[in-house]
Structure 1
Amino acid sequence: MALPLMPKATAVWLVENTALSFIQIADFCGLHELEIQAIADGDVGMGMQGMDPIANGQLTQAELDRCAADPAARLKLARSTNPVPTARGKGARYTPVSKRQDRPDGIAWLVKNHPELQDVQISKLLGTTKPTIKAIRDKSHWNSPNITARNPVTLGLCTEADLEKAVIVARARAAKLEKAEGKAADQIEENTED
């Protein structure tokens, strides 16, 4: 069951402003019944300001009245009308200004150690462009003499998991392509033998 935000502050408000039983408040706030009793006695949360669950939309007055009338009833958290945040879409990867000068070093390392990676994969992994990757491959980059191949994971440009995932996909693609080329060569040989 979902709990209210700031459960102790909510419990303080419910103890001070309602006639609910300790069990009802404890169940709603996810606290122990003895904790609620300690709040009511003033042993716990003396200086804590209560948080009104009705004002912040976690509880309705009708729900509160229903449970106050029936001690066996349990409070239910109200459905939030606030929009639920969505996951960020796949877009360009942001690289902080302090790490941007390290990006060519990371590209050089990937080109050297993982030639199976396509430019598109490197571009997505490090947040760079295809012309930059091509310039580093051709050694025509403006800063070519100063570029040293360094692992982009240790530079903080990507995570180890993202790099491993890209390499696995690239190797699978390369194996599939090699297998297709092998079949095509076999068919050519069979056609020439006939």
Structure 2
Amino acid sequence: MSQPLMPHATACWLIENTGLSFSQIAEFCGLHILEVQAIADDTASIKYTPRDPVRAHELTVEEIHRGEADPDYVLKISKGSEPVRRTKGPRYTPVSKRQDKPDGIAWILRNHPEISDGAIGKLIGTTRTTIAAIRDRSHWNIANIVPKDPVTLGLCSQRELDAIVAKAAKKAGLEAPTDVRLDGARAALIEELRRERDDAARVADEGEVPVPEYRSEADRLFDTPARD
């Protein structure tokens, strides 16, 4: 199922402006229900600016009303306008960024040698001659070339780079690399929120907040039992 472009910000808006349940919001935004709970309780580590999915053409008012009327209803994301696709031909690179091309090419050659020269040329907008010169270190400015991520340099998007890496890895019989750092951080956050919820529920069931035993400084020095 497709998800909104900014799930956490969208969830924040839905919490503040609709009567949808947390489970409905979590399902629509692709989040864990505890993440939605944390946003609602204002205990999330990051404060999000609400993003209106209606204005973003990701959700209709009618769909929200259907969800509010039926807690079991699963919201359906609206199909937005088709993204602008690149036409065939060489990629245009602004003059201010053309000097960064060798750095981006060097980064790809070092980190993803499985990508073909033709694919690099289409991604960065360069020639096979330039790529070969950087590879065999015969480029006229090789002394000043420093490998840098082409996404950071603004030469391509992360999605384009990921797609070309996955395609080259598949062709070479390799497994495309996956970044699991965010998954680990998200799992840790969910576990922390779950512990906080369980602790709060346990305190509520007991009916009182536990008070630590009082021990004076003298008691601590002489290791005497706590006084009632």
TM-score by length of 1: 0.48
TM-score by length of 2: 0.41
Instruction: State the structure with more CA Rg.
Output: 1
Higher helix residue share: 1
